[in-house]
Amino acid sequence: MGEVFNSIYSVVSQIPSGCVFTYGQVAKLAGHPRGARIVGYALRSIPDNLNLPAHRVVFSDGRLCRGEIFGGEGRQRRILMDEGITFLDDGKVDMAASGMKY
């Protein structure tokens, strides 16, 4: 998994503040099309010393990660809002305004 995870970490490290990528976009750019699930596994396994902006990776419909991966419910949203990401009324990221095109 090391080489696969490293390719994913490389892509995630390049997501600029104020933008989000989907798990699928990260997978494709890392050379692993159809590997969105492996991106999730990789992001849950990031070594602390890498300090990657994993909070900028969201589901394709703009949903945020559930659970404790970012320090509790609502933390990912707060971090993204602090970076200027906009949200729709249903709580999803406004992908048209914030999603990266590649």
Question: Alpha helices of 1-65 — where are they, by DSSP H?
Answer: 2-13, 23-29, 36-44
User: Could you tell me which of 71, 76, 42, 33 has the C-alpha nearest to residue 58?
Assistant: 76
User: Could you tell me which of 76, 20, 12 has the C-alpha nearest to residue 41?
Assistant: 12
pLDDT at 82 (0 to 100)? 96
Mean pLDDT in the chain?
91
- Per-residue model confidence as pLDDT tens digits over 36-74: 999 999 999 998 899 999 999 999 999 998 876 777 678
CATH of 2-98, one of 1.20.1250.20, 2.40.37.10, 1.10.10.10, 3.40.50.920: 1.10.10.10
Read off the pLDDT of each residue in 13-32 and give the average, rounded to a whole number: 96
Query: Could you give the CA distance from residue 87 to residue 95 in angstroms, rounded to a whole number?
Result: 8
Q: What is the percent of the chain with per-residue pLDDT over 90, rounded to a whole number?
A: 75
Does 102 have pLDDT greater than 70? no
pLDDT at 69 (0 to 100)? 72
pLDDT at 71 (0 to 100)? 72
Say what the pTM is: 0.91
- Is the CB of residue 37 less than 8 Å from the CB of residue 67? no
